[in-house]
Structure 1
Amino acid sequence: MKLRKIKNYDREHKKSFEFISNLFEFRADTIAAIYKIRWQIELLFKQIKQNFPLKYFLGDNEYAIKIQIYCILIINLLMGVVKKSLKRQWSFSNLVSICRIHLFNYIHLTKFLESTENDWELDIENDGQLGLSDDYLATG
């Protein structure tokens, strides 16, 4: 089997990487870009496995499993959007954990995540609801 060794220097991280490939028709920088994209996919699956573990499936047919996987991908995307919209810096795993804990609490999510200390005060005017403001109650 013929293989070729490709060396690539990443200026952003100031590191040198070596790849082994059997693709001789592609240039070295193209193969390095393919590996970089593949690594991003690996990181996505690692993030999903760490933050959304599937200990058991709710169904045993192909469609039930696909639906659960699609739901996890959608939740991962939504958590990414929430993380980018916040001014306060959260690690992805902490953000997912906080949202999982408060899934059934009536709180304004972004206000709570921006100021977790202040949002835990009971609002007596709103029937003791946690962290609900008037504008949130009006919009639902």
Structure 2
Amino acid sequence: LYKKRWEIELFFKWIKQKLKIKKFIGNSLNAVMMQIISAIITFIMLKLIQNGVNSAYGLTTIKRIIKHSLTNKVNIKEFSWFIFLGS
């Protein structure tokens, strides 16, 4: 029982550190699960981008670059993560 409890504690520590979830938006099980799943998907996508371009940037920096570029018009045919991140 202690081992399972410790695994849960480690999971919530990972959520706070890696997924940057400070508090849950809703109280229902569905709301919490949707927020955790969305954060995990976002984390995986950022990690794939970081590894795909061998970027020296951290995940926070990549997330910030994407966030500040959301309103920029992008030609999808010429798009490259290497150019986008300046790698």
Instruction: Give the TM-score of the pair, scaled to structure 1.
Output: 0.42
Length, aligned pairs only: 77
Q: Are 2:79 and 1:112 aligned?
A: no
Higher strand share: 1
Percent identity between the two aligned chains: 18
Rg larger for: 1
**Does the aligned pair in 2 maintain the 1:87–1:114 contact within 8 Å?**
no
Q: Using CA pairs under 8 Å that are at least 6 residues apart, name the structure with larger relative contact order, 1 or 2.
A: 2
Structure 2: runs of 5+ lacking an equivalent? 1-6
**Does the aligned pair in 1 maintain the 2:24–2:35 contact within 8 Å?**
no
Q: Name the structure 1 match of 2:37.
A: 70
Q: Name the structure 2 match of 1:123.
A: none
- 1:104-138: per-residue Cα shift (whole Å, max 9, x none)? 433336131135xxxxxxxxxxxxxxxxxxxxxxx
Instruction: Give the TM-score of the pair, scaled to structure 2.
Output: 0.62
Return structure 1 stretches of 4+ with deviation > 3 angstroms: 40-44, 53-56
Q: Name the structure 1 match of 2:58.
A: 91
